[in-house]
Amino acid sequence: MKPIVKEYTNDETLKNDVMELKGQGVNPKDLYVLSHDDDRTNRVANNADANTIGLAEMGLGEAVGNMFSKKGDELRAKLQEVGFSEAEADAYEEKLDQGKILLIVTDHERAKSLV
């Protein structure tokens, strides 16, 4: 089943939604933050107590390969690793290009309030 995604322009709103989801019983390991800027991704994930898509989700080979990829290719690969098709990853990567930040939730049962 595909993860649930919500787009944000405001980091604080994303943080508040993460807190609400955790209050509803969503495990923090099922919450991922992704933006076009690694520093922003890490900062928001740390502030919200959420995850980034990293080595554990991608596997060593994919992660090493991403070190030599263009940023867009890296983001699309991360999105595909958490369950999106190539076309969906392309569409979300365009949103990231526009400055959006994504909250990706892999716990479908408890994350219904997000959509």
Q: d(Cα 76, Cα 94) in Å, to the nearest integer? A: 10
- Please tell me the predicted confidence (pLDDT) of residue 73: 83
Task: Give backbone dihedrals phi and psi of 25, rounded to 5 degrees, phi first.
Answer: 100, 5
pLDDT reported for residue 55 = 45
In a domain? residue 29: yes
Q: What is the pLDDT of residues 13-52, one digit of tens each?
A: 999 999 999 998 899 889 999 999 989 999 999 999 999 9
Domain range enclosing 93: 4-109
| 105 domain residue, yes or no | yes
The tokens describing 114, both together, are 């997000």
The 10s digit of each residue's pLDDT in 36-93 is 998 999 999 999 999 998 644 444 444 444 444 577 888 888 898 888 999 999 999 9
Residue 40 lies in a domain: yes
Contacts of 1 (CB under 8 A, 6+ apart): 83, 108
Contacts with 57 (C-beta within 8 Å, 6 or more apart), sequence order: 32, 78, 81, 82
Confidence of residue 112 (pLDDT cuts 50, 70, 90): low
Q: How high is the pLDDT of residue 11?
A: 94
Domain count, the chain: 1
pLDDT value at 9 more than 90: yes
* In-domain check, residue 114: no
Give the residue, 114 or 99, on which the prediction is more confident. 99
Domain assignment present for residue 84? The answer is: yes
Q: How many C-beta atoms surround the C-beta of residue 82 within 10 A?
A: 17
For residue 30, being part of any structural domain is answered with yes
Residue 60 is assigned to a structural domain of this protein: yes
Question: Is 115 a member of any domain?
Answer: no
Question: Which segments of the chain are extended strands (E)?
Answer: 4-8, 31-34, 101-105
